[in-house]
Structure 1
Amino acid sequence: MTEKSLKTILVLRLSSMGDVAMTVPILKCFLNNYKDYQIVLVTKPLFTAFFQNTERLISVPIDTKKEYKGLNGIRKFCNELSKEYKFELIIDLHNVIRSRLISFFIKKVKSFNIDKGRKEKKKMIRLKEKDRTPLKHMSDRYYQVFVQAGFTFLINGHLYVNTDRPKENVCQEIFDSTKVVIGIAPFALHKGKQWPEKNMKELLKQFDDLDRCKIILFGGYDEEEKLEEFAKPFANIFNIAGKYSLNDELNVIKNVKLMITMDSSNMHMSWLMATRVLSIWGGTHPDIGFAPLGDNLDLMTQISVEELPCRPCSVFGNVTCHRGDYACLEMIKPNDVYRKACMAAGILLA
């Protein structure tokens, strides 16, 4: 089928990184089932790496802080997009002001918007009389938007990111020994999702003392200095934050034996690359709908709600601890994480 004969759907999911990553299996499953369609996906420039080499999926980056800033910028973007493509419909997987403006400026095209379940989430995180009924996973919410638009298909959770070949020598630099390589992403955007620094440093020391592992630290450009500080005292721990492109980082994640992360974008990037991930949970909770997919449920590490009934207190981890002590994170012991990680990575301990 030629490109001109394909019907085109506009899909919107501008941010955040983890939420954009979770669209990958849904969009790929749609395209696998509807061969007469192509998808034009609007997202932030950095996140286009998740969709490279996907047949009939065109990533269109939008920078709302520069060229397409403000109302006039979004209008300009939509005018350019409308000249390039004729859309059958719009699937809005974000449902925020910016995405709704894009739908508004793309004239005479019907849009279908995600239901994020905000009311149910508020009931789960309220201080008293929490409703602990597990909520739909975010990927299911994405799928339901397609159902609203008249499309049904089976979701295959094993459709991962097709990365470009990594920059020359990236993998050789990292996987140059017989040691088991484990990736660790110590940070999260908000304090309610981040394991205390002292606990992380103790975990790193345990791995370094083992001397059978090589630990790779992941993080954003703004975390590079802190991660260098983490790695400096140890012989077997290395920081790659700020050194590689997202494409190359995804290739590294693909080749490590295990990832250890917070409830963060690195958690979702790990299962997208078919790498097992041990995730640490604090003020948030997997039942809100952001659990890692794949064979990772047994590696979710958290204090039970029976022990800490205040959990979850937040959807995104951006709420100050009501107790004042962040017990949900403090109580997760480094040795417990260490032993669980070694077991998952196939490292035998005495």
Structure 2
Amino acid sequence: MGDIIYTSPVIRCLKNQLENVEIHYLTKPSFKFLLDNNPYLDQLHLLQPKLADTISALKKEQFDIVIDLHNSLRSLLVKTQLGVKSSTYKKERLKKWLAIKWKINLIKPDHLVDRYLKTVAFLGIKNDAKAIDYFLPADALSIEKILPHYYNKPYIAFVIGATHFTKRMPNNKVIELCEQLNLPVILLGGKDVEDNANAIHQATIDKTVNMVGKINLNDSVTIVKNAAHVIGFDTGLTHIAEAFNKKLVTIWGSTVPELLGVQPYQVDHHYEAGVELSCRPCSKFGLSACPKKHFNCMKTIELEKIVNFIIHE
């Protein structure tokens, strides 16, 4: 989800900087909601169960250029079959492997947006230095409907979800952090972290509101959009917060943002919480358990620095 969110400046720059351009976007059906309301897109195509059917439908569009921001076997097959001029995002797989396996970091800390934009530079496209885009649907619920008790009141949105265990801070650390914060905390995340959310809420019942697994993503985005501060792990909703220039704390465990270029983009006030360790990073996208069994990348994060940023920033 985060990778798709960071393609939004590319879409915007293409639409605004080229004359009479028609932009189509191909993605999985599960990510349709991220692009449905983007005004810079002319048409959205969804991958069909059979790739041949997808390619057949795309051929009818008679494209002039294919921009491949995924660089996968599937996108290679699409490009090959369409047989038109193409430009492909360079993933630097070997350099990432060296950084993780041998801690030899040869990757420039360029943001993923800038890496993507290099793919369209041959068209004369320049970075417009604006934030990422996220467009809520016209019928999205207002904050008054989702959290009536917090309408026009300051609160902190805490995104406690993340796909992999090593990207989530242990419950006891989250509880300790919530207890030290000076504003009510709204817990956000998917059904996969409902048990975590219930444990955290029970321990901080006077400080937190548990919305985890109870609302859809766009409702969660509305809560983030209206928050005074946002705290989150390395996950899609945390990155979406960047679209609204939120005062943002990102918490990093086994992954490091510079490796993939996913540090907050065009955000005025941001604190990156992480610990320098010889074993970090241990993966690109997170793991189901700490390979070293100690999980010090999350367990030793200094909560005081997060609290100070929230209170004083």
Structure-1-length-normalised TM-score: 0.79
Q: What is the CA deviation profile of residues 148-172 of structure 1, one whole-angstrom value per residue up to 9, with x for unaligned ones? A: 4x33223323353232235445444
Whether 1:276 aligns to 2:247 is yes
Q: Distance in 2 between matches of 1:226 and 1:59?
A: 39
Structure 1 counterpart of 2:185: 215
Whether 1:51 aligns to 2:63 is no
Q: 1:320 Cα shift?
A: 5.4
Structure 2 counterpart of 1:329: 298
Whether 1:155 aligns to 2:139 is no
Structure 2 counterpart of 1:76: 53
Q: What is the CA deviation profile of residues 208-234 of structure 1, one whole-angstrom value per residue up to 9, with x for unaligned ones? A: xx5xx2211111233335423432441
Q: How does 1:310-321 map to 2 (within 5 A)?
A: 310-318=279-287, 321=290
Q: Distance in 2 between matches of 1:181 and 1:113?
A: 42
Q: Distance in 2 between matches of 1:59 and 1:253?
A: 28
Whether 1:301 aligns to 2:301 is no
Q: What is the CA deviation profile of residues 301-328 of structure 1, one whole-angstrom value per residue up to 9, with x for unaligned ones? A: 1113xxx233223222238545331211
Whether 1:90 aligns to 2:66 is yes
Whether 1:286 aligns to 2:261 is no
**Residues 330/134 of structure 1: CA separation in 2 closer, same or farther (3 Å cut):** farther
Q: Does structure 2 conserve the Cα–Cα contact (< 8 Å) formed by 1:157 and 1:294?
A: yes
Match 1:102 to one of 78, 93, 117: 78
Structure 2 counterpart of 1:28: 12
One-letter code of the match for 2:198? E
Q: Which runs of 4 or more aligned residues in structure 1 lie more than 6 Å from their structure 2 counterparts after TM superposition?
A: none
Match 1:181 to one of 136, 155, 158: 155
Q: Distance in 1 between matches of 2:312 and 2:106?
A: 30
Structure-2-length-normalised TM-score: 0.87
Q: Distance in 1 between matches of 2:65 and 2:107?
A: 33
Q: Which shifted more, 214-223 or 27-36?
A: 214-223
Q: Distance in 2 between matches of 1:333 and 1:30?
A: 42
RMSD of equivalent CA atoms? 2.6
Q: Distance in 1 between matches of 2:286 and 2:101?
A: 13
**SS at structure 2 position matched to 1:238:** strand
Q: 1:113 Cα shift?
A: 1.5
Q: Distance in 1 between matches of 2:206 and 2:187?
A: 13
**Residues 221/110 of structure 1: CA separation in 2 closer, same or farther (3 Å cut):** farther
Q: Which shifted more, 314-323 or 111-120?
A: 314-323
Q: What is the CA deviation profile of residues 116-158 of structure 1, one whole-angstrom value per residue up to 9, with x for unaligned ones? A: 1112222222335x2365333211221111124x332233233
Q: 1:270 Cα shift?
A: 0.8
Consecutive unaligned residues in structure 2, runs of 5 or more: none
**SS at structure 2 position matched to 1:112:** strand
Q: Distance in 1 between matches of 2:304 and 2:225?
A: 26
One-letter code of the match for 1:18? G
Q: What is the CA deviation profile of residues 175-204 of structure 1, one whole-angstrom value per residue up to 9, with x for unaligned ones? A: 534642111111322233221221012222
Match 1:240 to one of 211, 218, 222: 211
Consecutive unaligned residues in structure 1, runs of 5 or more: 1-16, 345-350
Q: Does structure 2 conserve the Cα–Cα contact (< 8 Å) formed by 1:160 and 1:274?
A: no
**SS at structure 1 position matched to 2:249:** strand
Q: Does structure 2 conserve the Cα–Cα contact (< 8 Å) formed by 1:43 and 1:59?
A: no
One-letter code of the match for 2:241? S
One-letter code of the match for 1:239? N
One-letter code of the match for 1:206? Q
Structure 1 counterpart of 2:22: 38
One-letter code of the match for 1:227? A
Q: Distance in 2 between matches of 1:80 and 1:152?
A: 28
Whether 1:60 aligns to 2:44 is yes
Whether 1:164 aligns to 2:137 is yes
**SS at structure 2 position matched to 1:134:** coil
Q: Distance in 2 between matches of 1:82 and 1:122?
A: 36
**Residues 169/55 of structure 1: CA separation in 2 closer, same or farther (3 Å cut):** closer
Q: Distance in 2 between matches of 1:132 and 1:197?
A: 35
Q: Distance in 2 between matches of 1:298 and 1:56?
A: 28
One-letter code of the match for 1:251? T
**Residues 132/310 of structure 1: CA separation in 2 closer, same or farther (3 Å cut):** farther
